Amino acid sequence: MTNKLITMINLFSIFLLVSALSITLHQVAEGATICRDQWEVTNCDDFNFCRNKCLKLHPGPMTWSRCIDLAEAFYCICEFSC
């Protein structure tokens, strides 16, 4: 039973990933402009902080975020369709 559940969850995750990629490619193919916003943070330990702030500032299905460690600082990068 557990293996079937794990398999179903994995298949659903793959479906979501393919759907998100399909939406992204569709937007890019239609000439959507991707904009970027970034802000400095103290560290990248709490990724939810970056994601939540990004979605609050730029809500929508074409919004994604990441936290990067540059030489002297950490930055939350928020990219969105504009």
Q: Which of 64, 67, 58 is nearest to 39 (CA)?
A: 67
**Judgement on whether residues 66 and 43 belong to the same structural domain of the protein:** yes
**Judgement on whether residues 41 and 80 belong to the same structural domain of the protein:** yes
pTM (2 d.p.): 0.52
**Judgement on whether residues 19 and 40 belong to the same structural domain of the protein:** no
**Judgement on whether residues 46 and 66 belong to the same structural domain of the protein:** yes
**Judgement on whether residues 74 and 46 belong to the same structural domain of the protein:** yes
**Judgement on whether residues 40 and 79 belong to the same structural domain of the protein:** yes
Measured distance CA(45)–CA(43) in Å, rounded: 6
Residue 11: which domain range? 1-32
**Judgement on whether residues 66 and 49 belong to the same structural domain of the protein:** yes
Per-residue pLDDT of the chain (82 residues; tens, 9 = 90+): 587 777 777 776 676 555 666 666 665 556 667 788 888 888 888 778 888 888 888 887 767 788 888 878 888 888 887 7
**Judgement on whether residues 1 and 20 belong to the same structural domain of the protein:** yes
**Judgement on whether residues 79 and 46 belong to the same structural domain of the protein:** yes
Torsion sign, CA atoms 67, 70, 72, 77: negative
